[in-house]
């Protein structure tokens, strides 16, 4: 099978936002619950839209209010704290050079996504960027991937979706797309990797993708 289109997740896949996300969740739990929440508990939300997680953890708090508390922690440090995972920007640029269609498919909102994209110098590299602002349903629903494919004018069987969470993997599968899990994922268990939604491919390093495509 010849793959022509490569879809990338943002948080935890392209961008190392893990510390920032953990810190923001811990801040929210301190303010709204008065507790110190564990990293392991929080990591289970990685890849899930923020509003969905907020409703689950703080059902008695208006979602907008809870999100405002979460975002207050990272308001002035977001751009400073995020960095691309080693080799990821080089991979995306090389894919583009080789003629592949490259896209970003993320549950993050457009404005903060673009802060990262610009910082990493990729604003003129991605053919398509689909964020939470572009969808009514979010990962693991197939809508984000399907919208991306439509914008790319690509078929599901021609695409790969690269992610770090089971939300990414299930989104890919629900859209008929093969999934690639990155080796630096922090929110995937051994059970996930042997279950019915296990990813078709696994890469330890970004350049390993070339062995697949």
At 204 the pLDDT is 96
Domains identified in the chain and CATH numbers: 5-16+82-212 (3.40.50.1000), 18-79 (1.10.150.240)
Q: Is the pLDDT of residue 193 over 70?
A: yes
Cis status, amide bond into 166, omega within 30 of 0: no
pLDDT of residue 1: 60
CA 186, CA 115: separation in Å to the nearest integer? 23
Please, is 166 exposed, middle or buried when counting C-beta atoms within 10 Å of its C-beta (0-12, 13-18, 19+)? buried
Chain position carrying tokens 């495509």? 213
> What pLDDT score was predicted for residue 183?
94
Note the pLDDT tens digit of each residue in 29-46.
999 999 999 999 999 888
Q: What is the pLDDT of residues 61-119, one digit of tens each?
A: 999 999 999 999 988 899 999 999 999 999 999 999 999 999 999 999 999 999 999 99
User: In this structure, what DSSP letter does residue 35 have?
Assistant: S
Active-site choice (9, 11, 168, 192):
9
The alpha-carbon radius of gyration of the chain (Å, integer) is 17
User: What are the structure tokens assigned to 67, written together?
Assistant: 């999100």
9 is catalytic: yes
For all residues of the chain together, what is the average pLDDT? 94
According to the model, what pLDDT value does residue 26 have?
96
């Amino acid at each position: 099978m010849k793959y022509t289109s490569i879809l990338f997740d943002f948080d935890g896949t392209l961008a190392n936002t893990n510390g920032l996300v953990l810190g923001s969740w811990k801040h929210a739990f301190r303010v709204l619950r008065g507790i110190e929440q564990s990293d392991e508990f929080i990591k289970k939300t990685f890849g899930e839209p923020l509003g969905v997680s907020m409703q689950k953890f703080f059902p008695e708090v208006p979602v907008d209010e809870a999100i405002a508390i979460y975002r207050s922690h990272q308001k002035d440090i977001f751009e400073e704290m995020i960095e691309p995972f080693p080799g990821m920007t080089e991979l995306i640029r090389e894919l583009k050079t080789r003629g592949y269609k490259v896209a970003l498919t993320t549950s993050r909102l457009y404005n903060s996504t673009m802060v990262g994209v610009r910082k990493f110098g990729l604003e003129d590299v991605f053919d398509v960027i689909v964020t939470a602002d572009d969808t009514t349903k979010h990962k693991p629903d197939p809508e984000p991937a399907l919208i991306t494919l439509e914008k790319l004018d690509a078929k599901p069987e021609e695409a790969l979706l690269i992610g770090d969470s089971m939300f990414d993997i299930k989104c890919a599968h629900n859209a008929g797309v093969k999934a690639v899990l990155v080796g630096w994922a922090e929110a995937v268990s051994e059970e996930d990797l042997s279950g019915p939604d296990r990813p078709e491919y696994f890469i330890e390093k970004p350049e390993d993708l070339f062995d697949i495509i």
